[in-house]
Structure 1
Amino acid sequence: MKKNIAIIMGGYSSEYKISLTSGNVVFETLDREKYKPYRIHIFKNKWVYVNDEDMEFPIDKNDFSINVGSFKIKFDCVFNAIHGSPGEDGYMQGYFELLGIPHTSCPMYQAQITFNKRDCLSVLKPYGIKTAESYFLNLGDTINEDAIIAKVGLPCFVKANKAGSSFGVSKVHKKEDLQNAISIAFKEDDEIIIESFLDGTEVSVGVITYKGKIKVLPITEIVSENDFFDYEAKYLGKSQEITPARLTPEQEDKVNKEAKKVYEILKMKGFSRSEFIFKDGIPHLLEMNTVPGLTKESILPQQAAAAGISLPDLFDNAIEEALK
């Protein structure tokens, strides 16, 4: 009997359009012999099932079901394709875990930790994971520009602490530009992280649970045409994404071990994509994404393809792992 799969997409953040694209790729790709997929749009003002005629049917939040005509439809599994809140920060995970509905993403605690950049880095540092120097600010804090620069130097990166797809991120070269960058970051989040600039090769490493085992995928090297890997570079073709990355065997071994170590320390499940920069030959962790882009052009599917894993197989495995 075919399993009903709810593909949740959209979300409450600036990433909702990217999420809709990822979700629709999952919807189009899932094996119709095994699954009956449903597109579920999650927005602040509505949670709805959208059928092939673009008709909308409200979700009953009491049990995450839908009524279509005289039929009540419940779901065997949820495929999470929401980038940002509430799909990547633990809220949807907690909701489904309370309802006892399997889902493809990591558990609630892991989602909360990894979505909060400064908490994630703080948890990992005692395990010897190298990171950039960082300075934290909450909305309303006194901004001491000299103290910030003394800690992280120039240039530096100013980032919204809980946001993705490079929303709210600026690279600051001069002290007089720092305040504006902080204002931009605070438009996305009430917490920000300011990090030192690491000059080196940037790579993205996908780690997944595949057929019951942790698997590190082929590494992608990021070469941005812009000043850094910003929104344009990620989504508007302003970068090269080279898979496999042009690393020495020693570099490849080091970053593979670090990425797997991070996945294991955090007791991750499902998809993850971690960003590293090599400084003095040592990989430094920037952040981890637990609901990465899932289009054919996205980094993690590129890596899976390089490992001989097709999109249908990648998505099928995610569902089968969730159902275990």
Structure 2
Amino acid sequence: MAASPDIPGHPSPLGSGRRYHVAVIGGGRSSEHDVSVASALGVATALRERGHRVTELTIGRTGEWCQGGRAIEAGTAVQLLTGCDVAFPVLHGVHGEDGTVAGLLDMIGVPAVGSPVRPGALAMDKAVTKLLARHIGVAVADGVTVTSVDAATALANIAFPVVVKPSSGGSSHGVSIANGTDDLAPAVELALTFDREAVVEAFVSGREIDIAVYRDARGVLRAGAALEISVAHGEVFDAESKYDGSARFVVPAPLSSPERQRITEHAHRLYDTFGCRGVARFDFFLTNDGPVLNEINTSPGMTEQSQVPRMYGALGMSYDELVDELVAAACEPAR
């Protein structure tokens, strides 16, 4: 398949002009429920702007299906979904982005915007992501997976500082830095409140560079402009800095041509290796030795101010055009 360069002004087909009945699914049982609700609202609004018919569904914090603020039976939700041409899940984290909802949609025969079960499940597990990335030649930070505080504190020859994070999850919830032995136990304890496994990995010193990729209806891989996240020296892009406005996004990121090309090539390789569909975001650290993969998001934030729309906006693609493109790719995939 052809791939687009990551350069400003790269042309896009901007959808097919056809209009669909789209079920937009937001919310979910994860810690990212509120972000997902905001993403779903943005997507639904953009789709209506493009002339699509939209049915909005929300999954509550405890797993119930809702429409218009009222709980509905699961069977009713399935009937609504099967009455649509395509579903657009905007669910982040576990019980959604991890392939759960993709599996449901596949079983009931509803095409979906976004990745299917396998890439969602693989990318959600940070330890598995590292194994696959390393296998295809993409650098990752050295790390280990632990299931208890005792297992973490028993690690031999650990070199501080380390980053401790839940093995699954998103929005940087439960992520912290341990600068010494005294910090390690509380950091692991925090991570384990979000998942049954925690990843303890070497702190990578480098610029945080993210890039998004999707495959359009013509089968062409479309990379957004690379985006740089600027945080205070020695800090991580955690849940607090992600939403309190203290982090600064620079897009397009100031990269040399070789740096931009290498990051884009890594993202394309990861997208195809994991079997992603729809738009996926690839987060890297750019070090003196080249890019190091941090994580893969198969269902990234999709509010108008989220990173992914900003990346494509820097190339001249509006938010509603991007959303329209993703629907076209799901409904009219290249043969």
- Normalising by structure 2, we get a TM-score of 0.88
AA at the equivalent of 1:156: V
- Return the alpha-carbon distance in structure 2 between the equivalents of residues 301 and 158 of structure 1: 29
Distance 1:264 1:165, change over 3 A: same
2:61 aligned with 1:46: no
In the alignment, which residue of structure 2 is the partner of 1:206?
212
Q: Give the aligned partner of residue 72 of structure 2.
A: 58
Distance 1:90 1:103 in 2: 11
Secondary structure in 2 matching 1:19: helix
Residue in 1 that maps onto 2:46: 29
Q: Which runs of 4+ in 1 moved over 6 A?
A: none
Instruction: Indicate which of 91, 96, 101 corresponds to 2:105.
Output: 96
From 270, 278, 290, give the equivalent of 1:270.
278
Q: Is the 8 A contact 1:48 1:58 kept in 2?
A: yes
Q: Quick one: distance in 1 between partners of 2:137 and 2:108?
A: 37
Is the CA contact (8 Å cut-off) linking 1:59 and 1:65 kept in structure 2? no
Whether the 8 Å contact between 1:207 and 1:263 is mirrored in structure 2 is yes
Shift of 1:85: 2.1
Q: CA deviation at 1:146?
A: 5.4
- Deviation track 1:175-213 (CA, whole Å, cap 9, x = no partner) reads 111000010001000011111011111101111112431
Residues 146, 307 of structure 1: CA spacing in aligned structure 2 closer, same or farther, 3 A cutoff? same
Change (3 A) 1:49 1:285: same
CA distance in 1, matches of 2:50, 2:73: 25
Query: Structure 1 pair 5/249, CA: closer, same or farther in 2 (3 Å)?
Result: same
After TM superposition, the structure 1 = structure 2 runs for residues 123-138 of structure 1, keeping only pairs within 5 Å, are 123-138=132-147
Q: Matched residues, percent identical?
A: 26
Shift of 1:63: 7.0
Deviates more, 1:1-10 or 1:270-279: 1-10
Task: String of CA shifts for 1:256-294, please: whole Å, max 9, x gaps.
Answer: 111111112112111110110022231000100011111
After the TM superposition, which of the residue ranges 247-256 and 223-232 deviates more from structure 2?
Answer: 223-232
**Cα distance change on mapping 1:144 and 1:265 into 2, 3 Å:** closer
Against the structure 1 CA distance between its residues 108 and 62, is the aligned structure 2 distance closer, same or farther, given a 3 Å change threshold? farther
Q: 1-side partners of 2:39 and 2:119: how far apart?
A: 21
Structure 2 contact 166–174 (Cα < 8 Å) conserved: yes
Q: Distance in 2 between matches of 1:192 and 1:299?
A: 26
**How far apart, CA to CA, are the structure 1 residues paired with 2:99 and 2:183?**
34
Deviation at 1:104, TM superposition (A): 0.5
Shift of 1:217: 1.1
SS of residue in 2 equivalent to 1:20: helix
Pairing partner for 1:310 from 315, 318, 324 = 318
Distance in 1 separating the partners of 2:21 and 2:300 = 23
For 1:213, the aligned partner's letter is: V
Q: Is the 8 A contact 1:251 1:281 kept in 2?
A: no
Q: Give the Cα–Cα distance (whole angstroms) in 1 for the partners of residues 130 and 315 of structure 2.
A: 28
Conservation of the 8 A alpha-carbon contact between 2:133 and 2:140: no
Q: CA deviation at 1:225?
A: 3.4
Structure 2 unaligned regions, length at least 5: 1-17
Unaligned runs of at least 5 residues, structure 1: 67-71
In the alignment, which residue of structure 2 is the partner of 1:69?
none
Q: Is the Cα contact below 8 Å between 1:277 and 1:285 reproduced in 2?
A: yes
More strand by share: 1
Bigger mean CA offset, 28-37 vs 110-119: 28-37
Q: Which of 263, 279, 283 in structure 2 is aligned with 1:255?
A: 263
Give yes or no for contact 1:199–1:279 (8 Å, CA) kept in 2: yes
Q: In the aligned structure 1, how far is the partner of 2:143 from the partner of 2:116?
A: 27
Measured after TM superposition, the shift of residue 45 of structure 1 is 4.2
1: CA distance, partners of 2:213 / 2:50: 28
Aligned partner letter, 1:58: I
Question: What is the alpha-carbon distance in structure 1 between the residues aligned to residue 134 and residue 75 of structure 2?
Answer: 39
* Aligned-partner Cα distance in 2 for 1:146–1:85: 29
Asked whether the 8 Å contact 1:277–1:284 carries over to 2, the reply is yes
Equivalent position to 2:162, from 156, 162, 169? 156
Structure 1 equivalent of residue 23 of structure 2: 6
Amino acid of the structure 2 residue aligned with 1:223: S
The aligned length equals 312
Partner of 1:81: 90
The yes-or-no answer on 1:17 pairing with 2:16 is: no
Q: 1:255/1:33 Cα in 2 relative to 1: closer, same or farther (>3 Å)?
A: closer
SS of corresponding position for 1:194: strand
The amino acid of 2:263's aligned partner reads: V
Task: Select the residue among 271, 288, 299 that pairs with 2:296.
Answer: 288
**1:303–1:236 Cα change, 3 Å:** same
Whether the 8 Å CA contact 1:63–1:99 is kept in 2: the answer is no
Give the conservation status (yes or no) of the 8 Å contact 2:152–2:188: no
The structural deviation recorded for 1:3 is: 2.9
